[in-house]
Amino acid sequence: MHIFDIIAVLIFFSGLFIFLNTFYLKLPSSIGLSILALILSLLVLVFGRMFPEFHLAEQVKAYDMEEVLVRFVLSVMLFAGALNIDFGKLGDQLVPVLVLAFFGVLISTSVIGTLIYYLLDFMNIELHYIGCLVFGALISSTDPVAITKMIQRHKLSSELENKISGEALLNGGIAIILALVLVSLYKEEVVSGSLSLGGSIWVFIRDLGGGLIAGLFFGWLGYKALKYIDNDEAQVEVLVTMALVMVGSFVAHYLSISSMMVAVISGLVIRNSETSTDGESAVGYYVFKFWQLMEESLAAMLFVLIGFEMLVIPLRLDYFAAGFFALNIVLFGRWLSVFLPIKLMSRSHAFDNGTISVLSWGALRGGLPVAVSLSLSGFHGQEIIVTMTYVVVVCSVLYQGLTLGRLMRSYQAKQVQNQSS
């Protein structure tokens, strides 16, 4: 099969899954897509055993999609997520959201990565400590689309709703950027044999600092272009934003800086740029709808892709056991990354009683961790990282996703009870 045939297959199944979930399952997108991806995996496995020459998963695996995932899929999804972050709407919740997103990711990454390292060492599975931190960072990324749609179904307090949606939107970008910077750090260590503290600092400055500067430039350039274009010219604005993301990714790759940082920063600059005198944003309504469609479509494709990937990597029992242990470690790391910042900020900011519970249990995993794990081509330990990511994402989406509504209803009931008393 040609690479375009593979892409056509992924798009077909993604469209089919979205259709089935929208009109028949009627579940939140991440939950429905996970269930359908599991069913597809079983069907492809059976078909591949019956007709080995037409094993679809083997043909998908034959192509290295690292470039596509890193330079297109991740850039598009992170730009789309950043474009939805309106700092003005967060108001008084801006500082708590920034602290929760930034320091929460750092706490979660270090806790999960360290505990996974000792777990795998106990299970005699080899994975470098930086590789464990890569897993800790990528799995710390939550799905803003799933959690936003979930909280819209329940009447939460505006403060809690802003905290949840704002943290989820920022969290994904920060976690994925950190994961890919750690991958660069690992590659530098492999090339040099041993990486000094100064060398590690340089990798972070080069990737993050360079990405920040390039992102600010492309964001400013995009804002100026969009401000000049009338919002009624939706097709022109869409093409400008697409060109911005693609060129930014190309420049970042050429300069060896973080293309994810460029995508996130440029999206934030465009979204939070000043409005015109009549209050109209530089970005038109249809541009937001287009990027929302792109984000959800690519997330669907990633669920299909990881279903194929799991059929061709070694099905080792110890890898899957590590994945189920990792699920508990991830839940603990997420709880700690929410608990510590909130306790420290509670002296200066007010938090509802259910904030820690909802933020911890509402951290559903989605397409971004899947994309990063699949993009680690040539990374020593990719198979164990993909397996653990697959187990954690599927269990998180199904178990947490199907029980989160009950938690939110419980929170609502307590809220009503407090108001009446």
Residue 279 is predicted with a pLDDT of: 43
Read off φ and ψ for residue 230, nearest 5 degrees. Answer: -70, 140
Residue 388 is predicted with a pLDDT of: 94
Q: Is residue 300 one of the residues assigned to a domain?
A: yes
Q: Are 181 and 203 in contact (CB under 8 A)?
A: yes
Distance CA 323, CA 388 (A): 4
Q: Is residue 248 one of the residues assigned to a domain?
A: yes
Residue 46 is predicted with a pLDDT of: 78
Distance CA 254, CA 324 (A): 39
Within 8 A by CB and 6+ apart from 79, the residues are: 241, 245, 263, 264, 266, 267, 291
**Nearest Cα residue to 329 out of 117, 101, 34, 30:** 117
**Nearest Cα residue to 127 out of 178, 176, 119:** 119
Distance CA 25, CA 299 (A): 18
Q: Is residue 363 one of the residues assigned to a domain?
A: yes
Residue 281 is predicted with a pLDDT of: 65
Distance CA 68, CA 249 (A): 11
Q: How long is the chain?
A: 421
pLDDT in tens, 40-85: 877 877 777 777 766 666 666 666 667 778 778 889 989 998 888 8
Residue 29 is predicted with a pLDDT of: 77
Q: Is residue 39 one of the residues assigned to a domain?
A: no
Distance CA 215, CA 202 (A): 19
Q: Is residue 55 one of the residues assigned to a domain?
A: no
Question: Any idea what the CATH number is for the domain that residue 141 is in?
Answer: 1.20.1530.20
Domain tally, the chain: 1
Q: Is residue 284 one of the residues assigned to a domain?
A: yes
Q: Is residue 356 one of the residues assigned to a domain?
A: yes
In which domain, by residue range, is 121 found? 65-420
Q: Flag residues of the chain having pLDDT under 50.
A: 276-279
Residue 280 is predicted with a pLDDT of: 54
Q: Is residue 227 one of the residues assigned to a domain?
A: yes
Assign 3-class secondary structure to 315-357.
CCHHHHHHHHHHHHHHHHHHHHHHHHHHHHHCCCCCCCCCHHH
